Structure 1
Amino acid sequence: MFLQGNAPLNKFSLRCKTRYDSARVDSWIANVLDRGVKDLDVYISSNGDYPLPSEILMSKTLVRLKIGGGNEEFTIYDIKDVFLPNLKFLYLLDDIVFDETGDKVSKLLSGCPVLEELVMINLMWGLSEFCSVSSSTLKRVTICSEIIDENPRNVSFDTPNLVYLEFSDVVAIKYPKVNFDSLVEARLGLQLTPIQEKRSRASRDGYSSNDDEEEEMDANAADFLTGISNVKILYLSSDTLEVLNLCCKAIPVFNNLIHLTIETHQDVGWDSLPNLLGNCPNLETIVFKGLDYKDTNRCEDETYRFNNDTYKCWDENGKRCVCKPWKGTPIGLSSSPVKTLKVFEFGEICSYNDDMDKQSEVIKYFLETMPNLEQVTLYWDTSFDDDLSIQLTEFQMLEKVASPKCKIQIISDNISYSTTVHSSPSSNGLVFFSNRFPV
């Protein structure tokens, strides 16, 4: 590097994991900054004892800056001055910890007048009294925070030109300002604190908490959802679905939403889904990642035990009945404009409670209650050992309840043949596709 003198430098990447001389690292960084580096990637595992050179945050040539800490505490101490007039891309990764005084993210952004993309991964920003992202130039933001044991108090966004948001964090107590006027796509991973999750699930299942103190669920995600309600494409993690069940007093209307993806989990109920779907008047496509859900609408006839768990679910034949996610037909489904339904990981066995009967019944339920469905595609996670004849019968039953305008398509990597099954002359047929032997 020093043999090159002051020759201009476009990109510099530095990886330091163990046994490095911090003074020498400083000299390397100073050298490339003096030579007008535009793309700087610094990844230093430091156990929290290496402060970031302040000169990095005063560079007039940087366009892209990436800082990582190698899953250790790479601490930025006391940010006093920030001026990065040409920086468009900022990535802060792997347990970077700002000092606890003040809103350091806001200070960083205020010194980046042309910033277009911000990525912050594994930052413990929720420990501050107030966290905010404010910028009129940002177009893409990705924030995936560390899970902490308390709810952030105040989290705000003022990004009127943002088009893409990926946000994973513990749900905050308040969202004083949420401005996403231009948002097109959002991926949400809102979560409860570990204690809130434990207590809410214990309470839902009829168990009392072992903790002496009861924690109030004072967090509310409604203001945040209202701020993103103009979004067109929305992804909700299973954790976010649980937050909506417990921490969302009112779900706003999503007038522009046309594509909704929902990740499911066997410990999370679907209580909030009818209201959500009922508030999406222009929704065209809904995608499920799995069809797992917690039975919150169990039958009350008799009780049986399995693997030390108690269930009240019997059908008229003395077998475990398949509980539906909701009682009756929620208006959110019966009035749904959805035309396309896709299910990934269909048939995946997570536990004895997530069998094919249950998942097929859910699909049947959608076919019966969603009047505008035109295309249902199931990405079947199966193996060569499955009894295909039994599953074919299940799929034929689905076709019988579908409207004539609805096509049902099964796609699998493992099925070694392809066929078309017709259950009635008026139907369009049940089509199987194998990625090995395409039709």
Structure 2
Amino acid sequence: MNSTSKKLANICEVDRISDLPDSLLIAILALLPIKPAVRTCILSKRWRPLCESLPNLDFTDGRNPGIHFIDFVDKFLMRRPNNLKIAKFLLECYRGDYYRDRVNEWIMNALGRDLKEMHLFFGSQTCMNWSKIYFDMCTSVEVLLLSGKISVEIRENVTLSRLRVLGFDHVTISSYESIGKLLLNCPVLEDLIIVDCEWLTGNSLSICGPVLKRLSCCLISYDEVLRTLIDTPRLENLKIGCYTGGDNDILFKLNLPFLKIAEIDIWDEMGKGVDCVFGLLKQINHVKILTLPDSTVEILSLAYDDNGHYEFPPFHNLTELVINVNECFHETLLDDFLQNSPNLESLKFPQGLVSSCFHESFRSSWGWSQSRVPKCLSTHLKTVYIRTFHGIYDELAFVKCLLAYGSALRYVAIEISNLSIDAEAWQELLNLQSELTTCKLKIIDKNETCSLLLVYHKVYEVNFL
């Protein structure tokens, strides 16, 4: 063996990673899921106490239910030295009925260690009860997310002075009114999510927060009359959903001067959602980015079909509109939006230009006459994204109108769906592509996933994790 080979052999024999300080090794292990991190224990005795000191604990019983899961959690939580803090505690239990008593101990143990984040999910048959004692122990918690079969009991005098993020997802809550009382005692709350919860009592929901910036709220109220008041003067992102069969009022105490992004998703089974939708649009008409799912579009379209006389609000600040098309889409709805959005820069059709069920519902009158071309087309509209393009006549007519009147257009992206390259529509698009000078027309095959991701993105997404 030559000298160079000996030097390399000596280097390979040195365990330089184990020589790193504990704080650095723990920081590295914390980047791994808990089970791969635990496997490092087999390296040497040096690594065993490091795993027991991990700041982030993530447990799920999906693959290892029963006694093995209990032993695993106990090893890294209940036997953990009392002076070791926990930064993040995530617990997913699909068989929580099997070890309900242990779950309560695990939660209390984690809360007693200067915990910053807690994520709980229960998929068992019976509800786990999140009572006042847990709220009282959340003195250090900054992020609290509760999901699944959890019954949340909110009583008087619950104070969460450090809580920045709060989420209730498909849980059962004691009453609508209790939420308002809880939020009054969350002075630094910035993110709130309430999704498809079951409410035991009440008919009045108050969402308040002096520094709340992001709100995602989806309510289900099939029979009862629900009044929702939103008092959030610093709100920037809003996603409001309501699945209703009764009368619902959603009101804002102030006009939300800082609101930038909004999504309005209203489902209506009794034909009473029109007033709610138009009322919301009027209250947030200063928004910059607006998303309208197909359920909301259907309500707006039916209002036209019923000869309703609703005054369409102006959207002078709107720069981006995301609108979904369904079989009930009325031919003048988009025109009204564009006529009232003079500064619109981006227009997106995430579900395409026609309904996936009824292509014939698309109206050729989507085109504009020269005397009624929306101002935004010639002055501000720069980008248009169209997904699921089938190549039917009315789709092509709409694209041609856009290119003809959109003198400010710079980029149009069209995702082709089930359209042969030999089809007449494909050739027409290629001809349009070759004729354009100031605007780029990009034709994307549906299978070109990488290209599609570059030209289409979600407008509104609140990441609470």
Aligned-pair CA distance for 1:389: 5.4
Among 226, 232, 240, the alignment partner of 1:167 is 240
CA deviation digits over 1:130-188, x for unaligned, max 9?
Answer: 22311111111122344x43485322212111111222223763233253221111222
Tell me if structure 2 keeps the 8 A contact 1:238–1:263. yes
Detail structure 1 runs of 4+ shifted over 6 Å in the superposition: none
CA spacing shift, 1:163–1:177, aligned 2, 3 Å: closer
Among 156, 165, 175, the alignment partner of 1:89 is 165
Q: Which residue of 2 aligns with 1:318?
A: none
CA deviation digits over 1:330-367, x for unaligned, max 9?
Answer: 9774323443242332424xxxxxx5323212212333
CA spacing shift, 1:406–1:30, aligned 2, 3 Å: closer
Whole-Å Cα distance in 1 between the matches of residues 372 and 294 of structure 2?
19
Whole-Å Cα distance in 2 between the matches of residues 127 and 330 of structure 1?
56
RMSD: 3.4
Q: Which residue of 2 aligns with 1:319?
A: none
Q: Which residue of 2 aligns with 1:134?
A: 208
Whole-Å Cα distance in 1 between the matches of residues 447 and 101 of structure 2?
57
Map 1:384-423; keep pairs closer than 5 Å: 386-388=420-422, 390-395=424-429, 398=432, 405-412=438-445, 414=447
Q: Which residue of 2 aligns with 1:377?
A: 413
Within the alignment, does 1:62 sit opposite 2:124 as a pair? no
Aligned-pair CA distance for 1:32: 1.9
Letter in 2 for 1:230: H
Whole-Å Cα distance in 1 between the matches of residues 132 and 409 of structure 2?
58
Aligned-pair CA distance for 1:127: 7.7
CA deviation digits over 1:188-224, x for unaligned, max 9?
Answer: 222222x43xxxxxxxxxxxxxxxxxxx667432332
Whole-Å Cα distance in 1 between the matches of residues 451 and 241 of structure 2?
35
Letter in 1 for 2:108: A
CA deviation digits over 1:258-282, x for unaligned, max 9?
Answer: 1111122234334422222111121
Aligned-pair CA distance for 1:86: 0.5
CA spacing shift, 1:270–1:150, aligned 2, 3 Å: farther
Whole-Å Cα distance in 2 between the matches of residues 332 and 136 of structure 1?
44
Within the alignment, does 1:185 sit opposite 2:258 as a pair? no
- Report SS of the residue matched to 1:280: coil
Q: Which residue of 1 aligns with 2:401?
A: 365
- Report SS of the residue matched to 1:224: helix
Tell me if structure 2 keeps the 8 A contact 1:335–1:371. no
Q: What TM-score comes out, normalization by structure 2 length?
A: 0.68
Whole-Å Cα distance in 1 between the matches of residues 78 and 439 of structure 2?
69
Within the alignment, does 1:106 sit opposite 2:180 as a pair? yes
Aligned-pair CA distance for 1:254: 1.5
Whole-Å Cα distance in 1 between the matches of residues 393 and 117 of structure 2?
54
Tell me if structure 2 keeps the 8 A contact 1:162–1:182. yes
Tell me if structure 1 keeps the 8 A contact 2:129–2:152. yes
Whole-Å Cα distance in 1 between the matches of residues 374 and 437 of structure 2?
18
- Report SS of the residue matched to 2:130: coil
Q: Which residue of 2 aligns with 1:17?
A: 94
Query: Which stretches in structure 1 are left out of the alignment for 5+ residues?
Result: 197-215, 295-306, 314-321, 349-354, 416-432
CA spacing shift, 1:24–1:323, aligned 2, 3 Å: closer
Tell me if structure 1 keeps the 8 A contact 2:179–2:206. yes
User: May I ask how many residue pairs the two structures share in their alignment?
Assistant: 361
CA spacing shift, 1:330–1:142, aligned 2, 3 Å: farther
Tell me if structure 1 keeps the 8 A contact 2:353–2:386. no
Aligned-pair CA distance for 1:288: 1.4
Aligned-pair CA distance for 1:65: 0.8
CA deviation digits over 1:396-426, x for unaligned, max 9?
Answer: 56469x88644433233558xxxxxxxxxxx
Q: Which residue of 1 aligns with 2:227?
A: 154
CA spacing shift, 1:261–1:323, aligned 2, 3 Å: closer
Range moving further from structure 2, 245-254 or 157-166: 245-254
Whole-Å Cα distance in 2 between the matches of residues 135 and 161 of structure 1?
8
CA deviation digits over 1:349-388, x for unaligned, max 9?
Answer: xxxxxx53232122123334545434322222346xx142
Letter in 1 for 2:102: R
Tell me if structure 2 keeps the 8 A contact 1:127–1:152. no
Q: Which residue of 1 aligns with 2:44?
A: none
Q: What TM-score comes out, normalization by structure 1 length?
A: 0.71
